[in-house]
Copies of this chain bind each other. A is one copy, B any other.
Amino acid sequence: MEDSINSRYSVESNGDIIRPRRFTNLPSACNVQESDDIESIVTEVRSNENITLLQSVRRRVEVSKEKVHVGSLNVLSAKYESLDYDTCENYLLLEEERKNGFKFLIRKNIARWFVFLLIGMLTALVACIIDISIEELSTVKYAKLSSFVDKYVIEGSLYIPYFLWVVFNVIPVLIGSVLVAYVEPIAAGSGIPQVKCYLNGINIPRVARIKTLFVKSIGVICSVVGGLAGGKEGPMIHSGSVIAAGISQGKSTTFNKDFGIFKYFREDHEKRDFVSGGAAAGVAAAFGAPVGGVLFSLEEGTSFWNQSLTWKTFFASIISTFTLNVVLSAYYGAPGDFSYPGLFNLGKFQTFTYRLYEIPIFIIMGAVGGLLGALWNHVNYKITVFRMRYIRQKWLKVMEACTVAAVTATVGFLMMFSINDCRPRGQDPTKYPTQLYCTDGQYNVLASIWFQTPEASVRSLFHDPPNTHNPGSLAAFVIVYFFLASWTFGLASSNGLFIPTLLTGAAWGRMVSIVLFYIFPDATIVHPGKYALIGAAAQLGGVVRMTISLTVILMECTGNITFALPLIITVIAAKWTGDFFNEGIYDTLIQLAGIPLLPWEPPPVVNNIYASEVMSHPVVTLKCVENVGHIVELLKLTTYNGFPVVDPPLSDQNEITTYGRIRGLILRSQLIVLLQHKLFIECHEDWDDISASLFRDQYPRYPAIEQISIEEYEKPYSIDLRPFMNPSPYTVLHSTSLQRMFRLFRGLGLRHLAIVNDTNEVIGMVTRKDLARYRMWKHQGQMGVEELLISKDM
Contacts and interface: CB of A to CB of B under 8 A. Distances in A.
Interface stretch (A202-210, A382-390, A484-492, A604-612): A604-612
Nearest to A326: B356
Contacts of A354: 338
Contacts of A428: none
A559 B27 CA distance: 60
Interface in A83-105: 87, 89, 91, 93-95, 97-98, 101-103, 105
Interface string A292-320: 00100011001111111011001100100
B759 A720 contact: no
Contacts of A102: 57, 604-605, 783-784
Given A50-B94, A552-B291, A311 B19 contact: no
B564 A290 contact: yes
Nearest to A722: B26
A102 B56 CA distance: 12
A646 to B, nearest CB: 9
A18 interface: yes
Contacts of A720: 17, 19-20, 23
Contacts of A562: 338, 341, 559
A694 interface: no
A747 B86 CA distance: 12
A8 B688 CA distance: 10
Contacts of A54: 98
A471 interface: no
Interface in A658-716: 661, 663, 681-682, 687-688
A559 B97 CA distance: 47
A528 to B, nearest CB: 20
A681 B336 contact: no
B605 A105 contact: yes
B565 A318 contact: yes
Interface stretch (A139-147, A417-425, A449-457, A736-744): A736-744
Contact of A311 (B23, B548, B565, B607): B548
B91 A23 contact: yes
Contacts of A326: 356
Nearest to A311: B547
A122 interface: no
A53 interface: yes
A728 interface: yes
A730 B756 CA distance: 12
B601 A306 contact: yes
Nearest to A102: B783
A728 B722 contact: no
Interface in A1-54: 8, 17-20, 22-23, 26-27, 29-30, 33, 50, 53-54
Count copies of this chain in the complex.
2
A384 B742 CA distance: 45
A504 interface: no
Contacts of A97: 604-605, 607
A501 interface: no
A408 to B, nearest CB: 34
B740 A50 contact: no
A93 B50 CA distance: 12
B556 A101 contact: no
Given A311-B547, A321-B565, A783-B102, A600 B17 contact: no
A733 interface: yes
A753 to B, nearest CB: 12
A718 interface: yes
Contacts of A374: none
A625 interface: yes
A624 interface: yes
Contact of A303 (B304, B314, B663): B304
A747 B17 contact: no
Nearest to A685: B8
Contacts of A101: 57, 605
A734 B765 CA distance: 21
Contacts of A608: 94, 98
B33 A647 contact: yes
Contact of A647 (B20, B30, B53, B760): B30
B304 A302 contact: no
A688 B23 CA distance: 10
A101 B355 CA distance: 42
Nearest to A30: B624
A465 interface: no
A566 B600 CA distance: 35
A723 interface: yes
Nearest to A289: B561
Contacts of A735: 727-728
Nearest to A559: B561
Contacts of A784: 102
A290 B547 CA distance: 14
| Minimum-distance CB pairs A-B, first 7 | A747-B747, A102-B783, A728-B736, A30-B624, A305-B305, A20-B687, A307-B600
22 contacts: A23-B91, A29-B727, A50-B94, A54-B98, A89-B739, A94-B608, A97-B607, A290-B565, A291-B291, A299-B310, A304-B304, A305-B305, A307-B600, A308-B600, A314-B568, A321-B565, A336-B356, A744-B748, A747-B748, A758-B760, A759-B759, A759-B760
Given A50-B94, A308-B600, A326-B356, 12 more contacts: A8-B687, A20-B687, A98-B605, A102-B783, A298-B305, A302-B305, A303-B304, A321-B564, A322-B565, A336-B355, A728-B733, A747-B747
